[in-house]
Amino acid sequence: MKIKYHILLVLFLTYVNVAFAWQSGYTKEQFSGKEEGKTEFNPHWFLSLQGGGAYTLGEAIFGDLVSPSVAVALGYKFTPLFAVRAEASGWQAKGGWVNPAITYKYKYLQGGLDAMFDLSNLCYGFHSKRIFNAYLFLGIGLNGAFDNDEVVALNASGYNLQRLWTGKKLYASGRIGLGTNLRLNDHVAINFELNTNMLSDKFNSKKGVNADWQFNGLVGLSFTLGKSSRKVAPVSYEPEQPVSVTTVEQRPEPIPVVEQSKPKEDKIVVEPMKQNIFFALNSARIQDEQQQKISSLVEYLEKNPAAKICITGYADVNTGNVTINFKLSEARAKNVAEALKSKGIAADRIKVDFKGDTVQPYSTPKENRVSICITE
């Protein structure tokens, strides 16, 4: 019996390996074309319904100990690699006596909690359209066995069952398994799963050296509840084309000098200037209506040669993601700096900084798509 199970396990693992290799080529082919926008993983719930056969390890012929089994599970996938599910399974289990050869049936229900690891995403990265998705899981559970009347009758007729139980019994269980989902569409996949459950030695009413083992081969459907991925709009990083603005310098009229007995020297205090250069959603291009602010900064810096300017770029936390927003804020700050340089402002007078979406200087999302320019 053990040999047959091991053969099935080897065949399943071989199938997983071949499918991984095929899927790798499929994934590379998909990414060789033009990318229209990034697709990101989206956390979601999932439901699976399964049916198949259970084999409780024993001395009888393998086929004589196979019994029906069903399972239903509800889970939540937190990341591309990790999920948790709660599962209820069971129906019927079988045991066997060698001499004389006889088998008996009893029933069970098992509730379990599994930690699931996505092997496909681990090996090849997340891909929302991948057809073959393999997973590994580890779990614990509580097995409730009942309806053991056939074994009780055998024991009464002369069979010596040293682990005989009656009524209803609860046993802790540990489980491990491999499975795969074959994607049909964004919400439905065909599911195949092999799992092993380690149970108390009392489970099949027979005394043994080791714990009782039950193996399940299941086929079913897996349903994605909600969206498992989301698209992120592409960000425009087109370089800024500076607009030429002619500044007419107005020279003040000469003021006659009036001699005073005690002249006072008035200190001229230069007030700093602040300008907010706002941008469109997912864009680092300086809009036409913001060009007058650029001109004002240039005029100020020309009149105050000792002044310097600090440009800090920001992005709206409600759109995009951390990586995109960081690059977007950098592009916004640098585009403003390039616009000033193109109008004659020296690079050593310009300091560039960018915060991504980690800092939100204003209360409304629209105002946070900005480069804040402050002279010093």
Same domain, 140 and 243: no
CB atoms within 10 A of CB 45: 15
Same domain, 190 and 153: yes
Same domain, 243 and 202: no
Same domain, 84 and 63: yes
**Domain housing 341:** 237-249+268-375
The answer as to whether 92 is a domain residue is yes
Same domain, 289 and 226: no
What CATH number did the domain enclosing 349 receive? 3.30.1330.60
Residue in this structure with the two tokens 């073959």, named with its chain if needed: 132
What CATH number did the domain enclosing 200 receive? 2.40.160.20
CB atoms within 10 A of CB 114: 21
Q: Residue-wise pLDDT tens for the chain (376 aa)?
A: 445 445 555 455 554 454 444 444 444 434 334 445 578 899 999 999 999 999 988 777 787 889 999 999 999 999 999 999 999 999 999 887 766 778 888 999 999 999 999 999 999 999 889 999 999 999 999 999 898 888 788 777 767 677 788 888 899 999 999 999 999 999 999 999 999 999 987 887 777 667 789 999 999 999 999 999 888 766 555 555 555 555 555 666 666 665 565 555 555 667 899 999 999 989 999 999 999 999 999 999 999 999 999 999 999 998 889 899 999 999 999 999 999 999 999 999 999 999 999 999 999 989 999 999 999 8
Distance between CA atoms of residues 343 and 247, nearest Å: 11
Same domain, 218 and 245: no
Residue in this structure with the two tokens 């009347």, named with its chain if needed: 149
Same domain, 219 and 242: no
Widest pairwise Cα distance in the chain:
134
Dihedrals phi, psi of 85, to nearest 5 degrees: -140, 150
The answer as to whether 261 is a domain residue is no
The answer as to whether 71 is a domain residue is yes
The answer as to whether 262 is a domain residue is no
Prediction pTM value: 0.54
The answer as to whether 29 is a domain residue is no
Distance between CA atoms of residues 55 and 94, nearest Å: 8
Distance between CA atoms of residues 7 and 374, nearest Å: 72
The answer as to whether 31 is a domain residue is no
Domains: count for the chain: 2
Same domain, 219 and 244: no
